[in-house]
Amino acid sequence: MPPIPNYYETLGVSEKASASEIKKAYRKLARDFHPDRNPDNPEAEEKFKAVQEAYDALGDETKRKQYDQMRRNPFGGRGFDGFGSGEAGGYYRTPDGTHIRVDPGGFGSDEGFGGFGGLGDLFGQFFGGGGSPFGGDAPRDVKGGDVETRLGLSFEEALKGGKTEVSLPDGEKVRITIPKGVEDGTRVRLRGKGQPGPTGTRGDLYLTFNVRPDARFRREGTDLVTTATINVAEAMLGTTRAITTAYGKTIKVTIPAGTQPGERLRLKGQGVQTADATGALFVEVEVTIPTTLSDEAGLRAWAEAEGLLAPASESAA
């Protein structure tokens, strides 16, 4: 039977170290030995894996208790007299005085080890077999824990997408690809980007994208909305505006005569570009009304002549 590794020694902490001391030691060592910081040093990668393995066992309170019990168990040759040990009901005593029940008929699971609880992953790691040192059927490959985190993006970063680096809650950095045109609140699952398990197999990373709003554009699915401001005369007579899209392209837009406030002009194919589709850009027209007039009388006369206002004499009546 292979010796049980001393994970406390791997992390450089005492066996009485607190959870925060263990986490602090892990973060420092993981940073020092991270493969990205030591691209030409294979020994650093091995040390990094060892540190990850140690933290996987000691960083979780339940697993740490199981690991400590494993280190005290008698399978190393002390105190185990076999199933006929003379202790009633198939019990034997460990060196620390703990009585453990061994069920000869239950070695396919952890239930035969009443004093240990769920130790399938640790047994598989230390004895090279399944869920027990007697060759159970539990899998050899123990997957690491899943990780949940968030990534803040600017509006432009979300539109372009591409590769970037994400810091996991434990300080480790992972390279990921931002989907092109990703929307705020999108949650994705990245297989194999979570915490490494005892055998090196990583869990999954669940990543939520938080996209900051933009001053010029409002997003509606894959469509974008922007505003063009015109005056009353331009609304009545028509005009043009140069509109710059979210991707930097400048387009000349014709605003027809008689355009109403709040009316939208649709520019097909100028919205958000994703891997599957491209939306439209809507130009929402905002009409400004002057608060003072240089020739109010002349404007009134024109409006009356056009039938837009009742004559002043009729209004007074």
Which element (helix H / strand E) includes 148?
Answer: strand 147-153
Residue type, 199: T
Integer-rounded Cα Rg, in Å, for the chain is: 35
Share of the chain above pLDDT 70, in %: 75
Element (H, E) at 299: helix 296-305
More confident residue, 227 or 127: 227
Taking a C-beta distance cutoff of 8 angstroms, is the pair 202, 192 a contact?
A: yes
CA separation for the pair 37, 32 (Å, rounded): 7
- Model confidence pLDDT, tens digit, residues 167-212: 877 778 888 899 999 999 999 988 888 888 888 888 898 989 999 9
Render pLDDT for 231-270 as a digit per residue (tens, 0 to 9).
Answer: 999 999 999 999 999 999 999 999 999 999 999 999 999 9
Helices (runs of H) and strands (runs of E) counted in the chain: 9, 13
- pLDDT score recorded for residue 104: 38
Which residues, 6 or more positions from 216, have their beta carbon under 8 angstroms from its beta carbon? 226, 246
Tell me which of 57-71, 113-127, 273-287 is least confident. 113-127
| Virtual torsion, Cα 183, 185, 186, 191, nearest 10 deg | 140
Q: In the numeric block, which tokens belong to residue 86?
A: 């003379």
Q: What is the pLDDT of residue 71?
A: 80
| Residue-level pLDDT at 248 | 94
Q: Cα–chain-centroid distance for residue 249? A: 32
Q: Are strands 99-101 and 91-93 parallel, antiparallel or unpaired?
A: antiparallel
The secondary structure of residue 246, as a DSSP letter, is T
In the chain, what percentage of residues exceed pLDDT 90? 37
Taking only the tens place, the pLDDT of each residue in 17-40 is 999 999 899 888 888 888 777 878
Alpha-carbon gap, residue 223 to 87, rounded angstroms:
75
Residue 108 has pLDDT above 70, yes or no: no
Catalogue all structural domains in the chain, each as residue range(s) with its CATH number: 7-127 (1.10.287.110), 149-211 (2.60.260.20), 214-317 (2.60.260.20)
Tokens of 32: 């020092």
What gap in Å lies between CA 273 and CA 280, rounded to an integer? 9
Which tops the pLDDT comparison, 80 or 15? 15
Per DSSP bridges, beta strands 281-288 and 223-231 are: parallel
Measure the CA–CA gap between 190 and 187, rounded to whole angstroms: 10
Of 45-49, 117-121, 236-240, give the range with the top mean pLDDT: 236-240
Structure tokens of 34? 């991270």
Q: Which two tokens stand for residue 65?
A: 């208790």
pLDDT at 86: 37
